[in-house]
Amino acid sequence: MSKHDFENQLRGLMRRSPFEPFVVMVNDGRTIYVDEPAVAFGGGRAGFIGPDELVEFFNCENVLGFRLGNQETAR
């Protein structure tokens, strides 16, 4: 995914009001469930503090896409 598309899509998801959880689909088969607007991003990279304060990192080069959804659809 291009840096421009990555940041535009992520910005749109973060600005939804009210916030809706979303899933990040990564090219290694992982899905990252983002359940609150606690994502820092810039320069084509992003980080999210998930459950148990585990930090998940992802970047435009390995993200296949984003989709709205809950934790059950992330699996």
Domain residue extents for the chain = 3-74
Of 32, 34, 35, 24, the residue nearest 1 (C-alpha): 24
Q: Quickly state the pLDDT bin for 72 (edges 50, 70, 90).
A: low
pTM of the model: 0.84
More confident residue, 11 or 49: 11
Kindly report, residue by residue over 15-56, the tens digit of the pLDDT: 999 999 999 999 999 899 999 888 999 999 999 887 677 788
Angstrom distance (rounded) from CA 52 to CA 29: 22
The verdict on domain 3-74 having CATH code 3.30.559.10 is: no
